[in-house]
Amino acid sequence: MIRKTDGYRRLDFSKIAFADETVTMDDALKNVPSAEPISKIEITKVKKDYDNKCVKLEISY
Amino acid sequence: MCKIGDILLIYNARDRVSVGVHPFVVLDDTAGVVRGVYGYDFIGLLMSSADTDTKIEKLKQFEGNFPISPDDKNLGGQWQERNKAAYLKADQFFYFDKNKIKYLKIGTLSPEIFDLVIEFIEELAEKGVRFRQIIDKSTRID
C-alpha cells in the first residue's frame, strides 16, 4: 500500500537492504564541494604587546 | 520544519569549524534509531549540483544518482536565482538530528518528482543495491 503525506509518497523501508557498515558524515562529505564558500580566518602574525598586556594578531580571511 | 520533500541547506561542522554547506532533500521525517546506536529525526538525500558538462558526465555514471532539473525544484526568493540542475545520491541515506545541526529550508522538491525518486530507490533495491547509511557521530545514544 502506498502511503502519502502532503502529496509526498513515503518510502517503504522494509524493501531496503543496507550495507554492513555505517559511514560517518565526515567521510561521506570529505570530497563533496561546499555549496557556499567556507570562510576561514588565518592568523599570519603574532606580536606580544607587554605595555598593553595583550597579544596582537594579524589575520587574513 | 524538515518535512518530507523539503530542500535544506545543511551547515556541516567538525569541532565547531565549518566543513561546508550541502543541499539535501528530506526523504523521510520519521524519527528513529540507526542500528540501536544513532538517534535521528529525519533522513536526507545529498544533492550535487550539475552545472557543467564535466560534472554531468561524472555524476550520471553512478547507478545511484537521480537527475533533478531546475524545474523540479520550488525554491524561494534569492535561491531561485541560483537554481541549477543537480543529481540526488539516492543510494546514500544521511541520518540527521535537527537539534544537532544548523540548517535552512530553501524550498521543496515537486511531489511528482519525489514520487519518481521513491520509484528509483525501489528499483535500486530490487536490483540488489545495498544502501549506505551515513551517520553523525554526535547523535550517538549513550
Residues in B lying within 8 Å of A, measured between beta carbons: 3-5, 9, 12, 14, 18-23, 27-28, 34-35, 38, 46, 48-49, 92, 94, 111, 114-115, 118, 121-122, 125-126, 128-137
Note the pTM of the prediction, 2 decimals. 0.84
Dump pLDDT digits (tens) for B8-39.
999 876 655 566 889 999 999 999 999 999 99
Quickly tell me which residue has 535561491 as its cell: B79
Query: Which residue stretches of chain B have pLDDT < 50?
Result: none
CA distance linking residue B47 with residue B24, whole number of Å: 5
Q: Do the Cβ atoms of A16 and B46 come within 8 Å?
A: no
What pLDDT shows up at residue A38? 57
Q: Taking a C-beta distance cutoff of 8 angstroms, is the pair B105, B80 a contact?
A: no
CA distances from B107 to A22, A36, B4, B20, B58 (A): 29, 17, 11, 19, 26
- Measure the CA–CA gap between B140 and B40, rounded to whole angstroms: 9
Cβ neighbours of residue A20 under 8 Å, at least 6 residues apart?
none
- Which residues in B lie closer than 8 A to residue A1 (C-beta atoms)? none
Quick one: pLDDT at residue A40?
58
B122 vs A4: CA distance, rounded Å = 16
Which tens digits make up the pLDDT trace of A2-59? 888 889 999 999 999 999 999 998 889 888 877 766 555 567 788 898 998 888 888 7
H helix count then E strand count, chain A: 1, 6
Q: What angle do CA B98, B100, B102 make, to 5 degrees?
A: 70
